[in-house]
Chain A
Amino acid sequence: MPRDGRRHLSSQRPSCLAVTWPPPPPPRTARATEGRRGRAMSAALAVARQRLLGAARGPLILQRNSMRWDGKTYEEIPIAHIKATYNNTHIQVVSFDNMPFARTSCGTEGFQNAKKGTAIAAQTAGIAAAVKARGKGVFHVRVMVKGLGPGRKAAIKGLTMGGLEVISITDNTPVPHNGCRPRKARRM
């Protein structure tokens, strides 16, 4: 560290970063489909996923995660984005490289105005999206939820009822670090 007190930014590592970064290169195996970035990402993800799964395997060892769903690794499974606003719920099923499979919302299912902002509408939209995605050959899906609305839980339930198997749930609700100022409080 330089003695003039000014620390170079690159020498500071945030202690909150649980994953070792940059990840050490994984052992070379014959994996034709993954590029360099995919390998680095999957190594970091494998590390974090060991911690998430809570597997009692002793200290965290960087090992290749052997969980497979239909022969696919976690990173190759399609994603179901659920945007649950207070007035509506949108669901879009996308592949891992952002090719769309299905897109539904409460409005496309025939609900209007206030009825779109209900749990039943979200469940119907979930079932419809699951059926469409199933028709395109999607079986397992990892869910990404955004927003706190009435359709947050119901949409996931709808996806399960429609025949898709949910393997993980992520919360992607946008939390600003004091960015834009929201609208004023109601009923002044």
Chain B
Amino acid sequence: MANHLRFIGRTVMVQNGNVEAAYGALNRILSHDGIIDDVKRRRYYEKPCRRRQRLAYEACRRVYNAEMARKLAFMSRKNRQDPWLGC
């Protein structure tokens, strides 16, 4: 973060000399916060029309994935009350 509070943000301490795990943790944090995608996107300029298309596509994709996950969670229920009650 430039010169403000230099080693506070986006820092991961290495535990027990395990540098690979620390780097993996850092990468996970950054991608979860969307920083890696943002940096990749800013490499080339994204025109406003392309940006609007991308945002619409991402919104639709988010809705679709959420609905599909909900459906799958519903279908894969195991513990429910007796479905054949009375038969």
Interface residues of A (CB under 8 A from B): 19, 44-45, 48-49, 52-53, 74, 142, 148, 153, 156-157, 160, 165-176, 181-186
Contact = CB atoms under 8 A, between A and B. Distances in A.
Contacts of B19: 156-157, 160, 166, 169
B12 A168 contact: yes
A182 B45 contact: yes
Given A19-B5, A156-B23, A186 B11 contact: no
Given A49-B13, A183-B44, A185-B47, 12 more contacts: A44-B8, A49-B8, A52-B8, A52-B12, A148-B39, A168-B7, A168-B12, A171-B35, A175-B35, A182-B42, A185-B46, A186-B44
B10 A170 contact: yes
Interface residues of B, number: 28
Contacts of B42: 175-176, 182
Determine chain A's interface SS by DSSP, over half rule.
mixed
A133 B38 CA distance: 34
A179 to B, nearest CB: 10
Interface string B1-22: 1100111101111100101001
Contacts of A167: 13-14
27 contacts: A19-B8, A44-B5, A45-B7, A49-B8, A52-B11, A52-B12, A52-B13, A74-B7, A148-B36, A153-B23, A165-B17, A166-B19, A166-B22, A167-B13, A167-B14, A169-B12, A169-B19, A169-B26, A170-B7, A170-B11, A171-B35, A172-B2, A173-B35, A175-B39, A181-B45, A184-B44, A185-B45
A183 B7 contact: no
Contacts, number: 80
Nearest to B40: A148
Interface in B36-58: 36, 38-40, 42-47
Contact of A173 (B5, B39, B45, B47): B39
Contacts of A182: 42-45
A166 B12 CA distance: 11
A153 B44 CA distance: 23
A95 B47 CA distance: 42
Contacts of B22: 166, 168-169
B30 interface: yes
Nearest to A176: B42
B12 to A, nearest CB: 5
